[in-house]
A and B are shown apart, each in its own frame.
Chain A
């Protein structure tokens, strides 16, 4: 029997759409990559993060110990041995800058993690929990909104730094890599900034609740939890992701501001804010000390802002130009 090689009608339909099927996230990713500014920002951020982490692990990148004081070479400018110069105690600025950057990145990300948990919980609770919980939770949100941000952060920072830290057990770095100085700062900032995301999630949830696809899901008997998990949460996700991306630079900014006015993390820890505060105090002696952390904060804030812009455009095609 001869093999069937004759062409059948509608054969072409067997391979109807050669174009690859792309999901929402893949399409968003494609759009993000095509946004040059956002893409470059993402690369720079990854590079800085990797550099800052590896400086803690590989002496070759750290070059000099960030804590070793050398009184013979204080306040030196940039040189081939000390790339960014040395500070008032003769510590290598390159190593200190990377250390501070890692600290600030931890604060930025840690803050957003807490903000995410608190914000989504409160936003969802307000939108879906009925009239009473909406009123109570939104009243809390209004209350948090009534405090000027920085003022509340300063107050909370004082309150949280003034006590021991047995949240879970004893000993200082209770979460590896997150000593109490970081935890205090993270909590102080996140207790102020969850408000934005809570309001966003509430608004989104309230409008999604009325959508036809939610009605459809409920009418075919999906449990309320399934409706929330499978239909409502994923649809708030893009708003939340964008808000978090913009939240990271705001947290880094808040920490920087704290450090700048002298309320940064205590020694031996250092953050970009603390570095700025120290450098600013010795502005007349050594300009470099404030310049390096300032440039680093500026790069981080610019990159996160561009990335946030890119993500917003990528995730919501309607806003694209």
Chain B
């Protein structure tokens, strides 16, 4: 893992010196707040819980996470700096992991910026803190899996825009089969076992289970496997460039 910390630090510095990262973070937190407190029924429901916020979050991640991760490799390939990077004594694994972890740090920072909502709920009433913690755990895992997808897709593209669009679409596919309406549609057109399998492989179904307060080892393993598999695919891409 030679050079992991160097890559992670370099990527974070690049994010930190770019106004775009602040803009994405600000947009995410603002949209999350608006969807929860202004357009959502947080005050109408008058219940000290953040279920509304956690329901919205996966769909905000669809834009927020690819926006943060799209530049990780695509920009390097676009500017040609990837060749310089790969000549350095850094292993491809370290490079992929470093970029992934840097993006993830930022994505998790974005999630942490929503903590005032938890403080608000606690100030207003007596929320179920276990449920909220479980919700945040689910959000961290979902964001990590989306970041792994985005990092790998970014490695397959020269264009950041293309990387963003493909990543968002790919993340959407992992979410969409967990939606009730889609599941019903699939159930009507596919054998029941198939639609059940698609449901079980949906990130959203597993995320929702955790947000409901049930932390199952199969769900945690699912997210970890998703991250591992996509990062491994990213490493294969980077190795291929090296060979070329």
Q: Do A and B bind each other?
A: no
